[in-house]
């Protein structure tokens, strides 16, 4: 079955301004707009590393006890939780059906290629999916 959402539990948890710890949440699959529109954001243009903040604020649909997930929410995460969510994002949105090093076929042009490794396998990526272009100054 095609999975569009995944539940998660943050390793450490988000601590809100009142000191409440929030750990359980839900992330949905990214759309093309989720990956393209943040590239227009001035914060991303000024600092490409900010892309992951915008991306995650768009695809995390629920964090227990938090009314709205905003870039400010993501900024407040511990680095451990940010890395966990980047890895989860890449697993949910990366190529499926291929083991590391195995080739996959483009459904449009039928070209075969070996996908780049995800964060989990050592990529130094920005945190977006493999489709997210890097931004160069």
pLDDT higher at 121 or 77? 77
Tell me, rounded to whole angstroms, the distance of Cα 108 from its chain centroid: 24
* pTM > 0.75: no
Q: What is the pLDDT of residues 37-92, one digit of tens each?
A: 999 999 999 999 999 999 999 999 999 999 999 999 999 999 999 999 999 999 89
Mean of pLDDT values over 109-116: 71
Q: Using the predicted structure, report yes or no on whether residue 120 has a pLDDT greater than 80.
A: no
Q: Please, what is the average pLDDT of the chain?
A: 82
For position 94, what pLDDT does the model report? 81
Model pLDDT, residue 123: 42
Domains of the chain, residue spans: 5-121
| Dihedral over Cα of 53, 21, 11, 96: its sign | negative
pLDDT at 6 over 70: yes
Strand ranges inside the chain, DSSP E: 5-15, 21-28, 60-63, 104-105, 112-113
**The pLDDT value given to residue 32:** 94
């Amino acid at each position: 079955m095609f999975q569009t959402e995944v539940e998660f539990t943050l390793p450490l948890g988000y601590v809100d301004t009142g000191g409440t710890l929030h750990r359980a949440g839900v992330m949905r699959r990214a759309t093309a707009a989720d990956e393209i529109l943040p590239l227009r954001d001035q914060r991303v243009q000024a600092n490409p590393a900010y892309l992951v903040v915008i991306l995650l604020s768009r695809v995390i649909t629920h964090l227990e006890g938090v009314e709205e997930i905003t870039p400010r929410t993501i900024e407040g995460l511990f680095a451990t939780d940010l890395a966990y969510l980047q890895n989860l994002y890449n697993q949910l949105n990366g190529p499926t059906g291929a083991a590391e090093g195995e080739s996959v076929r483009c459904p449009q042009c039928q070209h075969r290629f070996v996908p780049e490794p995800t964060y989990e396998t050592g990529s130094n990526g920005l945190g977006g999916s493999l489709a997210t272009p890097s931004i160069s100054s």
